[in-house]
A and B are shown apart, each in its own frame.
Chain A
Amino acid sequence: MRKRKLFWVLFLLCIWGGDRIAWSYQWPIEPRILSVFAQGGAEGFERSIRVSANNSEIKPIEEGELIFFCSEGSPSSLPYPLGSFTVLQHGRTLRSLYAHLELSDSVQRMEKTNYQKGDVLGKTGLTGASSIVGLSLFTYDLEAKQFVNPLLLLPPVKDTSRPIIRNAQLEKKDRIIPLPTAEPVPKGMWEVTAEVFDLSSAVPTFWPMGVYKVNLYLNGQERFMVTMDTLKEQGGVTRVSPSEGLAYDQLYSKEGFRMKLGTVNLNPGVLNLEIVARDFAGNEKNQLYRFRVE
């Protein structure tokens, strides 16, 4: 009887401990994601993920020290479109920024500087340039000087919907051929573009958001790949890395979620062009286009 009790205690401890070891970071609020890291933003890449939640308490992703905060409308601060926000330092290299909040009194009055996982930084708000009550979460690697996709750190999110790939086309300076096409395509160099996005399940309306990974294959050979892991400044330009270091204009068209998937040399014959998009939960969508090149 005692042995059985001991077994159950150890079993529960393993589950509790295992969970803690596997995910040292936690979601600040329930993850109802509206936009993801490195998707096309207002003036470039989105450096944060946007999470929707009404009147929810925001907790740190990990124990950390408050190193910077800003109240919306404060005369001493710059007019941040981030609204009211806080920045926590976790250990030596990681920083997290929580934006568009209603700051808690403990932050505003600087009642404490060290925040544990259970402490409250504020509530989800509408401060700054925000149209939906929620939170924008940024994570930054101080050593590598780059923004890191918060989804790489946080526990996985349940999502079963596959990304959408539509309106793919071959582009040249003076010509656009929508795919699929029954007409033969002239040989030569063509830029492949397509609308690639995932749909947010956080809101009941059509709410497109970015994907995590996109590949382009020509006759089974990979010709393009981008993974939204980090954003790093290289030569005065912010680039998505580790994939090839693409700048915003190299990856996104001005038109919505249209992505530039690289330039391919099309030789005469029947070709298979395949676009593969994956969201962070691992849901994958393949789109194959078969056409003749002359």
Chain B
Amino acid sequence: MNDKPRRYGLLIFFIILVSYIGLFPIPLGKELLLVLQWIRSVDDPISTLGQSSQSSKEKITGFLLGKTIGYLSETGDLIYRESVLYSALVTDRGFINYSAIPKTLVVKDLRGNFLSTLKIEGYPFARKNRLFVLLADGCGLAEVNLEGEILWKKDFNQLITSMDAGATATAIGLWDGTLLLLGSKGEVVFQEKLGQDSYSVVYLTSLTKDDRMMGVVYGLNPQRGILWEKTPVGYKRVRSFQLRSNFRRPIQGLIDPKTERFVIEDAEGISIVGRAKEEDLKVFLKERIETITSCSIDKLLLLCTQQDAGRKVMGVTDKGKRVFLKSLAGQGPFWFQSEEGSFFLGFKKRIIKYRVMLE
């Protein structure tokens, strides 16, 4: 008998609670979603539709998956495919498929037609749509183009341990801890010796696309980083910091163009370093980071990680929150590329295109 008022009380409380939630709902915010666009196999037949569509303004994407290089149309049609000799450089306008000891680099277009030759001994690679060749003993670098021209060539008489390119500038880290910033003709425009001890190798160099921000990670015990900003009178240090990592190999990282924060592979995951210490973030991960890219949607960072069980692809927001995950079980050839609002995932023989959406 005495329980009755208590039961009514509870009932009234729940009615008020439900009514409140109904009248004033908590905004859930938009959710980031991965939408599957298409799945293709690199063994698919070459599409004749793809060939005709190439003449239009359709976006063509080059891929390098294991021992296969090729091009895919926006709809996933395989336009061209070729076996890799030793390794290859693939760009949106053409590719270089080279042997282990190349005396001359042959440049071909998206359909495998001859474009030009580069008389230089080294391995080619691209940074932000600019092409470079790392010379035979790793102590020299040349900037080249697909037309077969050597724009500049420079010998440092020291091992190049890291490099990145912006619009016109090229940042180079050397094994004695020297950071060099080269201008458009390969001339030194900025130079700094980082650390004074014998262990000052530069493990990571990053430059934004507009050459405005530059970051490095160097040294051991402890590993340190510096962030510079371009001013009218030159590059000015905006942040010096210490990391908990002690890597002795090249480190993954980039300066996120959206947030202008330095994203660095760390011993415990990733460190996101801003201009001020208050902006710093840490994302804890157990896996080894293979690739870090930035995505145009919602200041998102895309990470590919690797461990014995397989690979994972995850997004990290500018607040450090992990938003989605794709797992790829097992080991095998892997290719990942992020572009405007979408990304490509190549694993073993298949290539999948996902669209990243905010809904």
Contact = CB atoms under 8 A, between A and B. Distances in A.
Nearest to A145: B176
Contacts of B154: 236
A91 B197 CA distance: 11
Contacts of B176: 142, 145
A78 B250 contact: yes
Most chain B beta-carbon neighbours within 10 Å: one of A73, A81, A126: A81
Contacts of A69: 248-249
A138 B136 CA distance: 13
A76 B252 contact: yes
Contacts of A95: 175
B195 interface: no
Contacts of A126: 100
Contacts of A87: 159, 175, 201
A47 B137 contact: yes
B100 A89 contact: no
A95 B156 CA distance: 16
B122 A81 contact: yes
A149 interface: no
B134 A77 contact: no
Contact of B249 (A70, A79, A232): A70
Nearest to B289: A76
B198 A93 contact: yes
B123 interface: yes
A129 B176 CA distance: 24
B201 A67 contact: yes
A44 B199 contact: no
Interface in A230-280: 231-233, 236-238
B169 interface: no
Interface in A56-113: 65-71, 73-82, 87, 89, 91-93, 95, 97, 110, 113
Nearest to A238: B157
B161 A68 contact: yes
Interface in A120-159: 126, 128-131, 136, 138, 140, 142, 145-147
A31 interface: no
A174 interface: no
Q: How large is the interface on B (under 10, 10 to 19, 20 to 34, 35 or more residues)?
A: 35 or more
Contacts of B148: none
A21 interface: no
Q: How large is the interface on A (under 10, 10 to 19, 20 to 34, 35 or more residues)?
A: 35 or more
B123 A79 contact: yes
A130 B201 contact: no
A77 B249 contact: yes
B299 to A, nearest CB: 23
B90 to A, nearest CB: 13
Interface string A18-32: 000000000000000
A42 interface: yes
Contact of A43 (B135, B203, B220, B250): B135
B342 interface: no
B198 to A, nearest CB: 5
Interface string B157-180: 111111100000000000110000
B155 interface: yes
Contact of A42 (B100, B124, B136): B136
A41 interface: yes
A92 B198 contact: yes
Contacts of B137: 41, 46-48, 81-82, 136, 138
B157 A233 contact: yes
B251 A76 contact: yes
Contacts of B233: none
Given A81-B123, A82-B138, A238 B248 contact: no
Interface in B236-290: 247-252, 265, 290
A212 B161 CA distance: 30
Given A76-B251, A130-B101, A131-B101, 7 more contacts: A42-B122, A47-B157, A74-B250, A82-B137, A129-B123, A138-B137, A238-B155
13 contacts: A43-B140, A66-B248, A69-B248, A77-B249, A78-B134, A78-B162, A81-B137, A95-B175, A128-B100, A129-B121, A140-B158, A232-B157, A238-B157
